[in-house]
Chains A and B, each alone.
Chain A
Amino acid sequence: MAPAKHTLIALVEDKPGVLNRMASLFRRRSFNIESIAVGRSEVPNISRTTIVVDGTTTSVEQVRKQLDKVVDVVRVVELSAEDTISRELALIKVKANSVTRSEIMQIVDIFRANIVDVGSDSLTVEVTGDENKIDSLLTLLQGFGIRELARTGRIAMTRGLLSPLQIEKDKPGTRAKKKKE
């Protein structure tokens, strides 16, 4: 069975309204998007968007193809579950007092997370990992009282040398995103 969560990478032109175009598309076609993370890519004026789609409720194929129709979207690829490194970053503000502080710090250590701010009654934890790791840490910290949570959503990359743009250069005339046709 295909995994429920699919990762799409969309390389988009850094133009006004491009996020709006993508978001509008998701809404209009009732695509269920778990997360979307946007930032710069290695190419000037091209932003890299990582989109996580719930494959149980939404046709990933349609998301890919419809995104590809957006003129400002340069390229869309779906990353396979096996060859992908994916990470998410979370900032978690936990209630802490002199009694609980050391216990929280131990848990944070186990998760190789960092304490980035300490207050008299709180700790702020920075954690990086896949969603499962962050979810597990959150479960453990739940008991102490989570005051604030910020997650970036998944960003992802394939292993090895090739990037989505390079795949294009290597195969002139073909587009990796059309692989299923």
Chain B
Amino acid sequence: MKMTGAQIIFECMVKEGVEVIFGILGGAVLPLYDTLPQYPQLHHVLVRHEQGAAHAADGYARVTGKVGVCFATSGPGATNLVTGIANAHLDSVPMVAITGQVSRPFIGKDAFQEVDITGITLPITKHNYMVRNASQMAETVKEAFYLARTGRPGPVLIDVPKDVFTEEVEFTYPNRVKIAGYRPTLQGHPTQIKKAAKVINEAKQPIILAGRGVLISGASAKLKQLAETAQIPVVTTLLGISCFPETHILNFGMVGMHGLAAANMALNETDLIIAVGMRFDDRVTSNVNTFAPGAKVIHIDIDPAEIGKNVRVDVPIVGDVKVVLSELTKLIESRQNLGWFEQLDTWRKEHPSTYIRESEGILPQYVVRKIYEVTEGNAIITTGVGQNQMWAAQHYLYDRPNTFVSSGGLGTMGFGLPAAIGAKIGCPDETVWCIDGDGSFQMTIQELATIAQERIAVKIAILNNGFLGMVRQWQELFYDKRYVATPLSGPDFVKIAEAYGIVGVRVNNKIDIVPAIEKAMAEDGPFLVDFRVEPEENVYPMVPPGEGINAMVEEPREAVKVDSQKIKTRNM
């Protein structure tokens, strides 16, 4: 059957199970959008900035495990996607971005709204394409979705010249994908798995360090089985949060720069790290030279290039986490490890990182705790980047997979709100809270219009401290409190919300916190709460940059009120 390039794109998308597209139209994608009404099964969400389209597609992909899709026009539309694409790339999120391009005769002529988006996104996509003939369209779109969701997932961009959208060709849907240079290894090598099992069975103080790979692979149940069988404590990376129930007795929390003290101490003292679907990011290891000095390392990851990249590995296993864990667990001896657990429990009791002190003012971590209590731990939480993100990671307990949605690798401020849009559309029956900072929130604040237009029932909690808080914290600790360019005079967020047609309240007093959260939950539609929190509250523990994870700074115990006289105590 004869079809246009644009029709072929949508035909392929329908076959891929696409339900929703986030995007903004413009000149070069007009023919694409003009074809959209022929496919009523596809829901298009009009965002207010292309970065929001990419983040929404990202949030959608993270909660559903499906490929997120976004559209943008050529030139500025395409470049506006870049941050969102880079964000998805660093966090291995499956995404297909389709950008319009100037018509073929204009390519290379610096035409109006022409930009070399395949060149620009080359290092931040898993792969990208420019479709020069509509005859290549079906194969390209099919390949793009296949690449995006298989192996180590990532964003794939397809750039389409305007006249290719309208070019008519014979359409036949390709039955299979064959890419000579792409065959991800799924099965772990049996010899390596045997070796790993032996090392695990012999270890005295082993620990499982789980990352987002567990979530991507859908391996939470397998991980639980392994941990429970061998009684191995589990710690997670920031993006690994929710891959193992946080209320589970074996879960000792997040590690890293703002990881929980006991988790970091365990990592420092362990004799075996079983790293599962994670990549030893510098925010996890801090100083790699002093990282886990006494530990052997088993590293399970689908991406061979991650193995040995940052830390030395004793037993590498390349493969899909779920497949490898199934095989590995068969060889693991069931046992007790009481001494090691006593040690961990002692650390946890002596270093209660999630303890929230008494305070007259509103502590941001207290707000997060109350959201946890009111939602009974059943919400999907998206975050901005900075202090709000760390408090959301530390003080909400995530028991179900893919309920913590956060920008890890790129650390993209402004991620929270559009990601919440994607998450709510992906999981309409779930409660979705966006816990954001006032700085982060203002970076994509225009997406309130998207929320209002689509009536997306996202709940927004702004931990408003009037600062770019995390940067201010660094200035306090490492730059002699010179608060250069960190104080923010934010707008009245409640009025802003109202102007967009969204209900909101401000909370100035501690006693109003819970009623405000309850009110938000009772509201059918979107709701915004502006929490005026302690302006100079810090995130603890904190590993100072460049130091080992054993050099973390914890919250001073005697501190009653946040003031400038804080004495930093260094434990260990």
> How many chain-B residues does the 8 Å CB contact rule pick out?
24
Residue contacts A-B, CB under 8 angstroms, 12 given: A20-B119, A21-B122, A62-B305, A62-B308, A66-B305, A68-B181, A74-B180, A74-B181, A75-B181, A178-B304, A181-B304, A181-B318
B318 and A24: CB pair below 8 A?
Answer: no
- A20-B122, A24-B123, A61-B308 given; A71·B179 CB < 8 A: yes
A12 vs B185: C-alpha distance in the bound complex, in angstroms?
19
Judged by a CB distance under 8 angstroms, whether A167 is at the interface is: no
A70: interface (CB < 8 Å): yes
CB neighbors of A among B101-139 (8 A):
118-119, 122-123, 126-127, 130
Residue A181 contacts which of B181, B192, B309 (CB distance < 8 angstroms)?
Answer: B192
Check if B91 is an interface residue, CB within 8 A of chain A: no
Residues of chain A with a CB closer than 8 A to B185's CB: 175, 178
Contacting residues, chain A, for B309 (C-beta < 8 A): 62
Complex: chain A residue closest to B122, CB-CB: A24
Minimum C-beta distance from B156 to chain A (A): 9
Closest chain A CB from B117 CB (angstroms):
12
**Cβ contacts A55-74/B at 8 Å (1 or 0 each):** 00000011001101111111
Q: Give complex CA distance A92, B316 in Å.
A: 48
Residues of the A chain whose Cβ atoms lie less than 8 Å from the Cβ of B118: 17
> Does A130 make an interface contact (CB < 8 A)?
no
Indicate if A28 sits at the interface (CB-CB under 8 A): yes
Q: Which chain A residue has the least Cβ–Cβ distance from B181?
A: A74
CB neighbours (8 Å) of B303 from chain A are: 69
Decide if B147 is an interface residue (CB 8 Å cutoff). Answer: yes
Report the minimum CB–CB distance from A156 to chain B (whole Å). 20
A-facing mask of B340-355, CB < 8 A → 1, else 0? 0000000000000000
A178 touches B181 (CB 8 A): no
Interface 1/0s, chain B 446-476, versus A by CB < 8 A?
0000000000000000000000000000000
CB-CB under 8 A from B307, the residues of chain A are: 181
Taking the complex as formed, is A88 at the interface, i.e. its CB lies under 8 A from any CB of chain B?
no
| Residues in B neighbouring A54, C-beta threshold 8 A | none
Is A71 a contact of B119 with CB atoms below 8 Å? no
Closest Cβ of chain B to A25, distance in Å, is 8
List residues of A (32-87) whose CB comes within 8 Å of B's CBs: 61-62, 65-66, 68-75
A175 to B189, CA, bound (A): 12
With contact pairs A68-B304, A68-B305 given, residues A73 and B181 touching in the complex (Cβ less than 8 Å): yes
**Residues in chain A near residue B119, CB distance under 8 A:** 17, 20
In the bound complex, residues from chain B placing their C-beta under 8 Å from that of A131 are none
* Chain A, residue nearest B180 (CB): A74
Contact of B181 among A24, A66, A70 (CB under 8 A): A70
Q: CB-CB contacts of B13-52 with A at 8 A, as 1s and 0s?
A: 0000000000000000000000000000000000000000
> How far is B204's CA from A67's CA once the two chains are assembled, in angstroms?
38
Interface mask (A1-36 → B, CB under 8 Å = 1, otherwise 0)? 000000000001100110011001100100000000
Q: Which chain A residues (94-129) contact chain B, with CB distance < 8 Å?
A: none
Q: Number of A interface residues, CB 8 Å?
A: 24
B180 touches A181 (CB 8 A): no
Give bound CA distance, A16 to B179, whole Å.
Answer: 16
Looking at the complex, which one of B123, B180, B192 makes contact with A28 (CB distance below 8 Å)? Answer: B123
Docked complex Cα distance between A74 and B182 (Å) = 7
- The minimal Cβ–Cβ distance linking B34 to chain A, given in whole angstroms, is 28
B316 touches A71 (CB 8 A): no
- Chain B contacts for A181, CB-based, 8 A: 189, 192, 304, 307, 316, 318
Which chain A positions have C-beta within 8 A of B123? 24-25, 28
Closest 5 CB pairs of A and B: A65-B305, A74-B181, A71-B127, A74-B180, A73-B181
A175 to B118 Cα, complex, angstroms = 29
Write the nearest CB–CB distance from A155 to chain B, whole angstroms: 21
A69 and chain B: residue at smallest CB distance:
B305
Instruction: Give, as a whole number of angstroms, the nearest-CB distance from B97 to chain A.
Output: 16
CA distance A21 to B179 in the complex (A): 17
Interfacial residues of chain A within 154-181, with CB under 8 A of chain B in the complex? 175, 178, 181
List, in ascending order, chain A residues with CB within 8 A of B180's CB.
13, 74
Residues of A contacting B122 with CB < 8 Å? 17, 20-21, 24
A72 partner, pick from B181, B183, B192, B318, beta carbons under 8 A: B181
A68 to B185, CA, bound (A): 12
Question: Distance in Å from the Cβ of A44 to the closest Cβ of chain B?
Answer: 12
CA of A75 to CA of B304 in the docked complex: distance in angstroms? 14
> 4 additional contacts, CB 8 Å, given A70-B181, A175-B185, A181-B316?
A24-B122, A28-B123, A74-B181, A181-B192
B residues within 8 A CB of A75?
181
Beyond A62-B309, A178-B185, A181-B316, whether A71 also contacts B304 by CB under 8 A is no
CA distance A175 to B183 in the complex (A): 10
In whole Å, how far is B164's beta carbon from the nearest beta carbon of chain A? 15
Task: For B182, give its contact among A24, A61, A71 (CB under 8 Å).
Answer: A71
Whether the Cβ atoms of B126 and A71 lie closer than 8 Å is yes
CA distance A62 to B308 in the complex (A): 8
Give the distance to chain B from A77, nearest Cβ to Cβ, in Å. Answer: 13
| B318: chain A residues within 8 A (beta carbon) | 178, 181
Given known contacts A28-B123, A181-B189, A181-B192, A13 and B316 CB-to-CB distance under 8 angstroms: no
CA distance A12 to B309 in the complex (A): 24
Minimal beta-carbon separation of A30 from chain B (angstroms) = 13
Cβ of A57 to closest chain B Cβ, rounded Å: 16
With both chains docked as a complex, state the minimum distance between the C-beta of B248 and any C-beta of chain A, in angstroms.
32
Chain A residues contacting B304 (CB-CB under 8 Å) are 65, 68, 178, 181
**Cα distance, A25 to B318, chains bound together (Å):** 22
* Chain A residue at minimal CB-CB distance from B308: A61
How far, in angstroms, from A69 to B309 measured CA to CA in the complex?
Answer: 14
Nearest chain A CB to B318 CB, angstrom units:
5
**Complex Cα gap A110–B303 (Å):** 50
Q: Which residue of B lies closest to A15 (CB)?
A: B129
A27 — nearest CB in chain B belongs to which residue? B123
**CB-CB contacts below 8 Å: B157-207 with A:** 179-183, 185, 189, 192
Q: Chain B, 300-329, contact with A by CB distance < 8 Å: what is the 0/1 string?
A: 000111011100000010100000000000
A73 to B305, CA, bound (A): 14
Rounded to whole angstroms, the CA-CA distance of A66 and B305 in the bound complex is 6
